[in-house]
Amino acid sequence: MKILACYSNKGGVGKTATAVNLAHALAESGLKVLLCDLDPQGASSFYFRIKPSKKLIEDAFFHDEKRFVKAIRGSDYPNLDLLPSNMTFRDFDVFLSNMKKSDSRLKKALRAVKSHYDVVVLDCPPNISKLAEAVFASADIIAVPVIPSTLSERTLEQLFEFFEDNDYPKGKLLPFFSMVQNNKKLHKETMARLTHLYGKRLLNTHIPFAAEIEKMGVHRAPVITFAAYKPAAKAYWGLQKELRKRLLRIGRTTVR
Amino acid sequence: MTQSVFDAFYVSSSLDLEELSKAVKAPYHLQLTAEETQPYQILDTFDQQIHGQRKILFSQGNRLLLLDWAKSLSDHQQAKKWAFVEELNAESLRQELGYVSSLRALLPVQTLKGRLINGSLLDDEQKTVARIICLCFETAPGKLLTLTGLNKIRGYGKAFKLLAELFSHPAEDDLTAFAGTWALLVPDFLPYTNKPQVDYLSQSPAYEVASRLIAAYLHTARLNEEGVCADFDSEFLHDYRISLRKVRSILSLFKGVFDEDVTCDLKTRFSDLMRQTNRLRDLDVYLLEQESYLALVPEILRSGLLTMFEEFAEERDRTQKKVKRQFLSKNYKQEMTALQKLCPHTPAQMKKAAAETLKVGSDGDLPVFDYASALIWKRYRKVRKLARRIDAETPDEQVHELRIQFKKMRYLMEFFAPLYSAKEMKTLIKSLRRLQNSLGKFNDCSVQQEALNAHITAHANSKQDNDLEMVKSVGALVAAIHQSQLEERIKIVANLDSFTSDETSTKFEHLFHLQPANSAQLAEKNV
Ligand SMILES: Nc1ncnc2c1ncn2[C@@H]1O[C@H](COP(=O)(O)OP(=O)(O)OP(=O)(O)O)[C@@H](O)[C@H]1O
Ligand SMILES: [Mg+2]
């Protein structure tokens, strides 16, 4: 099982939009996916029409495997489940490391309800906190949406510095351009510069700035389900393919 | 939608969806989409393996629906053309049908007019919290049968329970059993088996039992003709040949039951029939073994083998067409009908036949129990004697002889199984299985080597490069198969002890020899 985090230390850059559409596309491609909504605002849960669970607030949650498994909700789509938000994330690091150990009690509890997830997608809140550090330590891939603007450039630099200073493997960080407006000169220039700076670390897929993505709030569904042929949907499908390939390459355990 | 862990399934004559919708209380509501009435097909293997597991597979366009009796009704998409379970897209469906033989194609059993209704139970956020699938069939003019499956979605147990409660009224009488529902869906169901049951009494004359067994196997063979011609899967020909082989063994093993001249004539006629399909079966076997053959030779020699398999595949195509032409020919049909006519059904026919056509032999009037016991006991002692003489050094011919005699003994035990305690027969047959399997594999290996060597000889003088490559690869394959044969031989020798043991002897003796007093005499007569 692989952990794929959507993270940025900056707010409003498209982390949730990415997590939702990516999780859905990965599931559509045949992988068994669990999307964890780690943002207390519950935006991912909202897009899947899933109400936040009150039961999850207690601290012991991540130590009580049965309760954890019970909190998982089936989405409206095949192969995709969701862990709703509204939890306190103390001991979240315990949860993540248990997700990775194949013989942990958590894994056994999941197996007992026939939930062998191939990928866990994390929708993270935008800050560097204890939660974020747990993600940095255990995620296999951290997809970082970057709006091609001067401010984002600086934020990305800070993230790499933080990894450098704290000895997290920088190879996990995979930035990609989000909310791209090709008609904006500034976007084009920033993209050229960042491509030069980050080279092959950058993912090839760009997510365009698109009205459909904003409309997800109205449809409350992943963009592929209501605008399959629009560039935005195609971009998320492309991102899925790119990341799936990278996930497959990691570690010994194979993703089916 | 998660793989539903707890599903439910209901069957009723009709289902009032409007009423159901009304019965759903806030905060939930039911959203239903009904399709047009369409033709649905029920699919199964020729030997009804799906039905045997109390499941029913429906197909309509790109859609497959699997009903697992008393458990669930699930909906799957299948875009590609398919015939075998392993060709199905949906992994969950492949798993559910995992027990279906990989050699068996799925074929239409029945076509019905049906209507599919898909429904979602939604909460106040319009989130799907449970699903419902209804398949409604018109089984006869004005008569409906509705199959309803409920699927739970993880984390929404309460909503599922509410929905399930709406269905908790008791099922209608004739629909509680799988058989009842199946009978409504497939009214003219004729189950097929390659092991036809012939019921008889231990006092029935051996002649009667033998002729009824022949009739049953001949009928079974004929049931497979259509599948052989249509080339649905290779099992049709396999069953066809096994059935004919059974007939031939009855003729040769049931000594004295029929008149000698009649037996002789029939043996030739059945051998002639068998010969027509020998090559096709051989080719089927090679092609089915392709993967395991390839695994036996090193990587670099595989392309040579593939050349051979391409040739086999082409030849198989031609041979299948030839067999089909034969099966459709007037001569063939006449011969089969004539053979079927020979076997009497009613007592009156039996009397007439015994005197005129299928003439009774010297022992035909013996009670079958006595006749069978003596025959099996005698055959067993013969096999035991052969087995005792075999060790690691004995020439292969003797192992082959053992296999042939062993097989005859097994056939006899199968033909006459209904005469003996089912439980004892089962344990005895089970105790023989390991030796039987090794003998079978040993023989397969030698047949295959022979055939492959023939293939080499046929291409030995070729000047073509890829023929040379092929000859080299096939040579390596023969060597590998020879190795497997040696291993099987070791296993045979290892399993002989248990076969010749006192324990096995006692079992045989108990079943076939130390039986009611009067049988001993008759047994002597036959030995
Ligand atoms: N590619 C896009 N094109 C147009 N609008 C987008 C795009 N991506 C995201 N948005 C919109 O921008 C807003 C913020 O996006 P999103 O919630 O995905 O970002 P986030 O990084 O998760 O934010 P937060 O830091 O608050 O969690 C949302 O209203 C979303 O609809
Ligand atoms: Mg967010």
Rg (CA), chain A: 17
Q: Which of B345, B335, B363, B385 is nearest to B253 (CA)?
A: B363
User: pLDDT over 70 for what percent of chain B?
Assistant: 94
**CB nearest to B5's CB, from A49, A78, A113:** A113
Q: Give the per-residue pLDDT at B408.
A: 94
Kindly state the DSSP code that residue B170 receives in the 8-state scheme.
Answer: P
Inform me whether the pLDDT recorded for B438 exceeds 80.
yes
Residues in chain B: 527
Residue with tokens 């799988």: B178
Residues B77-115 as b or e (16 or more Cβ within 10 Å = b): ebeeeeeebeebebeebeebbeebeeebbbbebbebebb
Inform me whether the pLDDT recorded for A134 exceeds 90.
no
**pLDDT grade, residue A101 (50/70/90)?**
confident
Q: Which positions in chain A have a beta carbon within 8 angstroms of at least one beta carbon in chain B?
A: 48-51, 70-78, 81, 113-115, 220
- Output the pTM of the full model: 0.82
For A52-67, what is the mean pLDDT?
62
Distance A16 CA to ligand 2 centre (A): 4
**pLDDT grade, residue A250 (50/70/90)?**
confident
User: pLDDT over 90 for what percent of chain B?
Assistant: 64
In tens, the pLDDT along A227-236 reads 999 999 999 9
Instruction: Name which of A17-21, A108-112, A147-151, B471-475 the model is least confident about.
Output: A108-112
For A2-19, what is the mean pLDDT?
94
Q: Which of B207, B184, B201, B217 is nearest to B258 (CA)?
A: B207
Residues with CB under 6 A from ligand 1: A 11-17, 39, 43, 126, 178-179, 207, 209-210, 213-214, 217
In tens, the pLDDT along B206-252 reads 999 999 999 999 999 999 999 999 999 999 999 999 999 999 999 99
Name the pairing type of β-strands A141-146 and A2-6: parallel
Region at B126 (left for phi over 0; alpha for psi -120 to 50; beta for the rest): left
Ligand 1 atom having least distance to the Cα of A126: 25
SS3 B343: coil
Q: Give the per-residue pLDDT at A249.
A: 83
Inform me whether the pLDDT recorded for B526 exceeds 60.
no
Residue A147: count other Cβ atoms within 10 Å of its Cβ: 22
Inform me whether the pLDDT recorded for B274 exceeds 50.
yes
Inform me whether the pLDDT recorded for B55 exceeds 50.
yes
Q: Do B2 and A115 touch (CB under 8 A)?
A: yes
Measured CA to CA, the distance from residue B48 to residue B192 in angstroms comes to 7
Residues with Cβ within 8 Å of A5's Cβ and at least 6 positions away in sequence, in order, are A121, A122, A124, A135, A139, A141, A142, A143
Measured CA to CA, the distance from residue B302 to residue B287 in angstroms comes to 15
Residue with tokens 């010994």: A252
**pLDDT grade, residue B466 (50/70/90)?**
confident
* Mutation choice for A interface testing from B127, B131, B160 by most A CBs within 10 A: B127
Inform me whether the pLDDT recorded for A61 exceeds 60.
no
Q: Give the per-residue pLDDT at A89.
A: 60
Q: B202-361: what CATH class?
A: mainly alpha
Q: Does domain B367-527 have CATH number 1.40.20.10?
A: yes
Residue B428: count other Cβ atoms within 10 Å of its Cβ: 18
Q: Which residue has the higher pLDDT, A127 or B385?
A: B385
Q: Which residue has the higher pLDDT, B277 or B166?
A: B277
**Domains of chain A (ranges plus CATH)?**
2-250 (3.40.50.300)
Measured CA to CA, the distance from residue B360 to residue B355 in angstroms comes to 7
Q: Which of B9, B7, B39, B14 is nearest to B146 (CA)?
A: B14
Strands (E) across B123-211 are located at 128-140, 143-152
Domain ranges of chain B: 2-169, 202-361, 367-527
Inform me whether the pLDDT recorded for A146 exceeds 90.
yes
Name the pairing type of β-strands A33-37 and A80-83: parallel
List the single residue in B with minimal CA-CA distance to A81. Answer: B2
Collect all residues of chain B within an 8 Å Cβ-Cβ radius of residue A77: 1
Measured CA to CA, the distance from residue B248 to residue B268 in angstroms comes to 9
Inform me whether the pLDDT recorded for A191 exceeds 50.
yes
CA distances from B11 to B52, B131, B135, B324 (A): 19, 16, 10, 43
**pLDDT grade, residue A54 (50/70/90)?**
low
**pLDDT grade, residue A221 (50/70/90)?**
very high
Measured CA to CA, the distance from residue B338 to residue B340 in angstroms comes to 5
In tens, the pLDDT along B283-311 reads 999 999 999 999 988 888 888 889 899 99
In tens, the pLDDT along B325-346 reads 999 999 999 999 999 998 887 8
Query: Domain spanning B2-169 has what CATH number?
Result: 2.40.320
Q: Do the domains B202-361 and B2-169 match in fold?
A: no
